[in-house]
Structure formats: structure tokens, C-alpha cells
Amino acid sequence: MKRIILVFLVLSSIGILSGCLYPQDKLAKNQVPYEDQIQVVQTAVKKFQKDNDGILPIKTKDQKTPIYEKYPIEFKKIIPQYLSDAPGNSYENGGIFQYVLIDVENNPTVKIFDLRIAEKIREIHMRIDAQGYPPFKREVSKNIYTLNYKKIGYKEEPYVISPYTNHNLPFVITGQGEIYVDYSSDLYNVLQNKNIHVKKGEDIRPILTKDSLFVPAYSLPYTVNEKNEPIFLTK
């Protein structure tokens, strides 16, 4: 009974939190990834970098932060001198997208990711915490597993919508309890349809960002097998 009550409170808090972060009226207006908004931010970042001896307008993150969430843009550093306001679809202005930089050493490039992914991962974590342990289901790679979602109260497996294909993407969990989105199907789609060949042992996630506004947020590294199919890149 205590566990049921705890799960109810957890789910209630998630709903309240989601409602506070993303009211429905703002979702309707600010969930579109406009390319022109990203280009405006890109121009502002370049001007800031040029005027500040190569320094980038980013928030400081822990070195262990995954690469695609590691360099979020700090808009207050470029507003109002380089940008009049944060884009309407950015989290800072009531939107659902986090603006980040990739390739910061060679060619700092503005990309985005949907913060609702983080909300879904947080929800799964809270359900696991309410149970006390992650209900591992199947090992899909070394130290990477699927979950038995029924054991943490789901009637159906949770997922997120791919920014690349609009397909449903599942989650995986590591032995340490970290949850990630599985982009295997998206990577397979690009490798096959664009006839891309990469070296085995090389992280292939950049093929997703090359022609897209989005980064594969909350992802593990991937490489390819002998058939040029995506597999998790494990040590």
C-alpha cells in the first residue's frame, strides 16, 4: 500500500511539474523547430566568439556531461548585444527546446533538442526509485539493458518521438541505472538510405546531426558491425 501511495505521489508531482514547465498554450506556439531562429542564434554566437577572443557563450557543465548536452547556450551572455531575445521555442523563453553547441573546438554549430525527453527519463527514474531497483529485462549489449516496464507501473512501454524520422524510440538502461534513448533505428535508416560507410569502432552519431537541426540527446555512443549496422560502442 505504501508503494502504491508513493507511486501516485510521484506521478502527481510529474504532472504538476510538466504543467508548470510547458503550459498548453506555450506548447502550441513554441514547439516548432524553426530553422531561421537557429540561424539567428548561430550568427549571434559567431559574433560573440569573435569579439571575445574565441570564448563561447555557453553554460559551464561537468566534464562527465554527455557530449550532446554538454554545451548549452547561455542566452544572457549574448542578449541584448548580439540577440534581442531568446528564441520563442527555447526553454528560456517558454519553449520546449534546449539550444546547444556541437563541434566547439573546430566549428561551433548551434543545434537543439527536445527537453520533453529529459522529462520522460526523469519520470522513468522516479518510478524505478519508487520501486527501489531497476527491473532489468534483457541485455542488448555489454552492460546495456531493456526494462520490464510493467514492474514499474506502465501498461505500455514509454517512448519518445524521433526528431529525425518521427518514429517511436525506446529507452535502454545501463547497469549503473542511467537511462538513454535508443537511436539504433534512426542510425540504421541513415546508414542504409544514404549508403554511408564508417569505420568500426568510430562513434557514428554525427551522421544524425549532419543534415538536421537536432542532436541525438541522451544517447550512448554507437558504432557499426561487419554488416555496417549500428551497435552500441562499448569499451
Q: Which helix (H) or strand (E) holds 224?
A: strand 222-224
Reading the block at residue 209, the C-alpha cell is 546531426
Within a domain: 187:
yes
**Cβ within 8 Å of residue 193, ≥6 positions away:** none
Residues 227 and 137 occupy one common structural domain: yes
Residues 55 and 144 occupy one common structural domain: no
Within a domain: 152:
yes
Q: For residue 64, which phi and psi values (nearest 5 degrees)?
A: -85, -5
Within a domain: 162:
yes
Within a domain: 142:
yes
Q: What is the pLDDT of residue 24?
A: 53
Residue finishing a domain among 67, 83, 114: 114
Q: Which of 213, 176, 232 lies closest to 33 in space, CA to CA?
A: 213
Residues 53 and 84 occupy one common structural domain: yes
Pairwise CA distance, residues 67 & 226, whole Å: 26
Task: Give residue 191's domain range.
Answer: 133-232
| Domain count for the chain | 2
Within a domain: 82:
yes
**What does each C-alpha distance from 7 to 61, 124, 131 come to in angstroms?**
31, 11, 8
Q: What is the pLDDT of residue 12?
A: 44
DSSP assignment of 62-127: -TTS-GGGS-BB-GGGTTTTT-SS--TTBGGGT-SEEEEEE-TTT--EEEEEETHHHHHHHHHHHH
Residue finishing a domain among 52, 82, 114: 114
Cα four-point dihedral sign 151, 152, 156, 158: negative
Residue finishing a domain among 81, 114, 147: 114
10-residue mean pLDDT profile of the chain (235 residues): values are 45 43 53 87 97 95 93 97 95 95 96 96 97 95 97 96 96 97 97 85 95 96 94 90
Residues 181 and 211 occupy one common structural domain: yes
